[in-house]
Amino acid sequence: MEKKRLGVLVSGRGSNLQALIDASKKDDYPAKVVVVISNKKEAYAIERAKKENIPVYVVKREDYRSKREYEEKIREILLEYKVDLVVLAGYMKIIGKTLLEAFPWRIINIHPSLLPSFPGLEAQKKAWEYGVKISGCTVHFVDEGIDSGPIIGQRAVLVYDDDTPETLAERILQEEHKLIVESVKKILTEEYEIIGRRVVFKKKGDENI
């Protein structure tokens, strides 16, 4: 099986990147990380990529005059590595028109809440403060909004009375690692349609969808 090619955009720790790298080592996993791009030179994700001999680029917004030029550089790298799917794994910038148009419905993001609840920063803390009893994580297609695109998959995590924002975030993170791996696999191996906001997976033998 020829593995599909993932380009992963990061800004920090890179544990979701690591989950994808680990999954890709299995022969039957349909994808491999071929390039990592970070907008922060101090991101620990860079070390993870280097350790695996995955090409890694630092592309910083402040080095470019406009968002368009910044994203053109990222686009150039992603095209050079012929990526089939772009994964935002803790990438802390909003994706603009340049990348959205270059990879239509080919950019996905992982977010640490059950969207549409708690989009944006510090989602786990916001969920904890709100007092929800169930939180979780979401993988979704990226559109022009913030954490707003069609949902590919979600995993639920119970909130315990003695949780802190940190313990909750840690349990959500464990589920994120599973969800990102299973979502990438689904997108790359199953047939689906995006109908309005709904990502509808076509079941085998179901000709009506």
Query: What is the binding site for ligand GRF (CB under 6 A)?
Result: 12-16, 89-90, 110-112, 173, 176
Q: Which is nearer to ligand GRF, 72 or 154 (CB)?
A: 154
Which residue has its beta carbon closest to ligand GRF?
90
Which residue do the tokens 């949902």 mark? 151
Least spacing, CB of residue 131 vs ligand GRF, in Å:
20
- By C-beta, is 83 or 114 nearer to ligand GRF? 114
Q: Label residue 140 exposed, middle or buried (CB < 10 Å: 0-12, 13-18, 19+).
A: buried
Q: Report yes or no: 108 and 86 within 8 Å, Cβ to Cβ.
A: yes
Which is it for strands 192-195 and 56-58: parallel, antiparallel or unpaired? unpaired
* Sheet containing 134-141, strands listed edge to edge, beginning at the edge strand earlier in sequence: 56-58, 31-38, 4-10, 85-88, 107-111, 134-141, 151-158, 198-201, 192-195
Q: Which is nearer to ligand GRF, 28 or 135 (CB)?
A: 135
**50, 51, 52, 56: CA torsion to nearest 10:** -10
Smallest gap from Cβ 205 to ligand GRF, in A, equals: 34
Interior CA angle at 182 toward 125 and 47, to 5°? 70
- Residues marked active site are found at 111
| Residue 13 vs 171, nearer CB to ligand GRF | 13
Q: Smaller CB distance to ligand GRF: residue 27 or 95?
A: 95
- How far apart are CB 9 and ligand GRF at their closest, in Å? 11
CB of 202 to ligand GRF, least distance (A): 27
Tell the smallest beta-carbon distance from residue 43 to ligand GRF (Å): 8
